[in-house]
Copies of this chain bind each other. A is one copy, B any other.
């Protein structure tokens, strides 16, 4: 832990084997307190040590590490205590690596993967079972694909990517031209180009561009079941929670935070540093950082029925106010509004 910094209060030889929550921790566990509201759980914890903000130094007598940001410290400590296991390198005998694919000796290709001709895996890439890396697609070094990930032809994924099971990178965008009541398919000839240090959740889909590319910049984090339409660009270090969706050709800035199930219209632009709350639908461009929302919180059904009835009666409300204004207006002069 020494290399993570922080001030240790208590015996330096406290043995720590893993991270745990205050509630479930036992001997050998390191727990953490990310805010004042969790301090009262300290009394009951069986953790061997805790990570605390400096100002909470006196909140426990347990061995403790004091730091500026306990949540970040937890993240770093957890990485140390639970390092990712790398499977042994090599191509599984039940994989299908086509002639003309580049698979370095340091890479791991699981069973039932297809690596097509022209595809290129970087050093130490790991493909879980059942992945497909299409013709001329590329996965940068240290990339990891979970089971059954599909990377369509010519798509490019940067270094140290982590893509979870069932994600689909580079399927056709939804491009159709109407003709006499039918739909004519527009070939989708762009690619998906994904930067370095990107994480993509399970069953998320990112469509290839129609002509130009769909671009996911460095450090973007996408949760599960997200849909990214063709020709979208997502700026560096933006994070998007599960079930969000972005329609075609929209550009999202850097370091945005998009809440779960938020929806973003096509062909608009979102500035850097914008927060969109969960379930909100963004219908037009947002030019300034800040938080944007349109959330209707659930209510007991009876109260909601009243709200809806009131909303629908607003036309009548306006009319009644006009009537009142007419009746009550001073007779001598004309009022304007």
Contact = CB atoms under 8 A, between A and B. Distances in A.
Nearest to A209: B21
A313 to B, nearest CB: 7
Interface residues of A, number: 121
A223 to B, nearest CB: 4
Contact of A146 (B164, B171, B243): B171
A96 B94 contact: yes
B224 A181 contact: no
Contacts of A325: 320, 324
Contacts of A304: 292-295
Contact of A293 (B84, B199, B207, B298): B298
A241 B174 contact: yes
Given A74-B177, A247-B278, A278-B281, A166 B130 contact: no
Interface stretch (A5-13, A101-109, A185-193): A185-193
Contact of A79 (B96, B187, B291, B299): B187
B315 A298 contact: no
Interface in A168-213: 168, 171-172, 174-179, 181-187, 189, 199, 201-203, 205, 207, 211-212
Interface string A45-81: 0000000000000000000000001011011101101
Contacts of A202: 150, 168, 171, 205, 207
B314 A298 contact: no
A281 B283 contact: no
Task: Count the copies.
Answer: 3
A20 interface: yes
Given A176-B239, A283-B295, A314-B314, 17 more contacts: A20-B211, A74-B177, A112-B130, A132-B148, A162-B185, A172-B201, A174-B241, A174-B242, A207-B224, A242-B247, A247-B278, A276-B298, A290-B300, A292-B298, A292-B304, A307-B314, A324-B328
7 contacts: A129-B132, A165-B168, A166-B166, A176-B221, A202-B207, A227-B242, A294-B304
